[in-house]
Structure 1
């Protein structure tokens, strides 16, 4: 039998461990979501999924709608991949676009002008166009924040009939290049999850061939409809990780996974980070070099990417159509599989003879 003092110490230690585990569990969910089905689960299976991750089942998951909210610019290929990958688990895709970039440069309404390409999903797409013409001296960061909130504030109050949200409906918030995995959405629809939930993404750059080293990508976010108490999108995205419960390995993030050099240049010109809008970063031959070799788009020394051979962590639609989108799969071709560049890219940064930044981005 343990002496009284040793017994007391043992009990205190055990209590500390239990408190730590309970606290940790409030902020993390097992990565084993990948083992669940990609299709909407029946109620009994949904109940098992929720219990496995220590969530309570949602009382009527079959009646719960899922809204997928995101902004878009030129990324029509990503939109095609997203719509086809998530069609079976999303009820409505809420999309915002504008005829001006965040830096107020005029641009086409890419989705509006190409809706025929997505006719298969016309009953699910809720497209809203916003106009920055009368916003005066508003900064690009303020316009981005306004646009993100508009996904909710300018759309949800107008929804009617079957599109009208009801309490508890799932709201997903992401950028177009952040795609939740179908099994993650199945889990969220089936379970009672916290109003601030973060979905951690596997973070790829240029294609699914290059994975970002370092910090995890703590987007998309998820919440649920609560009428006037619904968390607005910008607030929701800003709370990533800190106040949220995190679902690990729950999405894909493919940043700068463009089919053309022109799209890369346009992103650099319209990006909120205007320090990237420099001739050396927009040179086509240098862009091809960076994409082929996994070099950061702005030559930042701390941004590193690891090459992945024969990556199978792909959205299902991309797996089924690898020949349709080769630039998402590999950048090994001499032209990095860009559709608007012929020949080979630059061999090194030293080949650049134009102006360079006084201070390079870090």
Structure 2
């Protein structure tokens, strides 16, 4: 990925956002990073976390996405890089897929395959029921590090009927993206997907127009680890920092 960044016409001082493809920066975040002086060289972006759709808000635990003021030594890392974090900087929607086949594709990927303990887990009717109720696809306990948080998150995710503070493009195209919105949990089965189609809607729901940022790319990294083929999908977004000059008499 670092080689891809270097080949993307990036310049010193550009703002570079690196994240998974299910993490969407808000337009206000972009404007703040682009126009404000003195932002940290590296800053994490806290996202509101959703599951299956924007009907099931989970928490604000998503923080790994980063914004960098690009320098020659800037590198991609999927770990903590800074003590600075920008709160409420966008959305992280896990397992937010259009078709049931997309869920099966993701569940059987390397990072989740060990959680599919029964073949019945991949049954379409079971998946459909779970994503409408807000339960866990793998029938597992929440991944937390304290009993307090574990108990708090046990059971179904509480539903939200609110469309406040959701991506603007999503709301303007509600007919096209019903499956993302409250009350639209029913999914078609879908055809068998190619790997490159696993995240077909990510670019479309970015809530700022294409011309407002300089360069965007979604990439798939294929690795072979032992007997497993692993595909990691990530994105990076680059935009120029605008500098205004004024004539001095």
Aligned to 1:155: 4
Preserved contact between residue 44 and residue 67 of structure 2 (Cα < 8 Å):
yes
> How far is the alpha carbon of 1:271 from its aligned partner?
4.0
Say what the alpha-carbon RMSD is for the aligned residues: 1.9
Q: As a proportion of its length, which structure holds more strand?
A: 2
Q: Deviations over 1:60-86 (max 9, x none)?
A: xxxxxxxxxxxxxxxxxxxxxxxxxxx
Q: Deviations over 1:96-140 (max 9, x none)?
A: xxxxxxxxxxxxxxxxxxxxxxxxxxxxxxxxxxxxxxxxxxxxx
Aligned-partner SS, 1:198: strand
> How far is the alpha carbon of 1:329 from its aligned partner?
0.4
How many Å separate the matches in 2 of 1:196 and 1:280?
44
Aligned to 2:47: 201
> How far is the alpha carbon of 1:340 from its aligned partner?
1.9
> How far is the alpha carbon of 1:301 from its aligned partner?
2.7
> How far is the alpha carbon of 1:180 from its aligned partner?
0.5
> How far is the alpha carbon of 1:274 from its aligned partner?
2.5
How many Å separate the matches in 2 of 1:281 and 1:311?
31
How many Å separate the matches in 1 of 2:65 and 2:48?
11
Counterpart selection for 2:29 from 138, 159, 184: 184
Aligned to 2:121: 281
* 1:221 and 2:66 correspond: yes
* Stretches of structure 1 lacking an aligned partner (at least 5 in a row): 1-149, 342-362
> How far is the alpha carbon of 1:194 from its aligned partner?
1.5
Q: Deviations over 1:291-343 (max 9, x none)?
A: 0101012122336422111322211110101111111003x46xx320228xx
Aligned to 1:307: 159
Aligned to 1:60: none
Counterpart selection for 1:323 from 175, 178, 198: 175
Preserved contact between residue 48 and residue 88 of structure 2 (Cα < 8 Å):
yes
Aligned-partner SS, 1:270: coil
TM-score by length of 1: 0.46
Preserved contact between residue 261 and residue 340 of structure 1 (Cα < 8 Å):
yes
How many Å separate the matches in 2 of 1:252 and 1:265?
23
> How far is the alpha carbon of 1:233 from its aligned partner?
1.1
Preserved contact between residue 259 and residue 337 of structure 1 (Cα < 8 Å):
no
Aligned to 2:85: 246
* 1:165 and 2:165 correspond: no
Distance verdict in 2 for CA 1:309–1:186, change over 3 Å: same
Q: Deviations over 1:151-190 (max 9, x none)?
A: xx2223334xxxx222111000111110000110111112
Counterpart selection for 2:107 from 223, 248, 268: 268
> How far is the alpha carbon of 1:283 from its aligned partner?
1.5
* Structure of greater relative contact order (alpha carbons < 8 Å, 6+ residues apart): 2
Counterpart selection for 1:233 from 70, 76, 79: 76
* Stretches of structure 2 lacking an aligned partner (at least 5 in a row): 144-152, 191-249
Q: As a proportion of its length, which structure holds more helix?
A: 1
Q: Deviations over 1:36-58 (max 9, x none)?
A: xxxxxxxxxxxxxxxxxxxxxxx
Runs ≥4 residues deviating over 4 A: none
> How far is the alpha carbon of 1:252 from its aligned partner?
0.5
Aligned to 1:340: 189
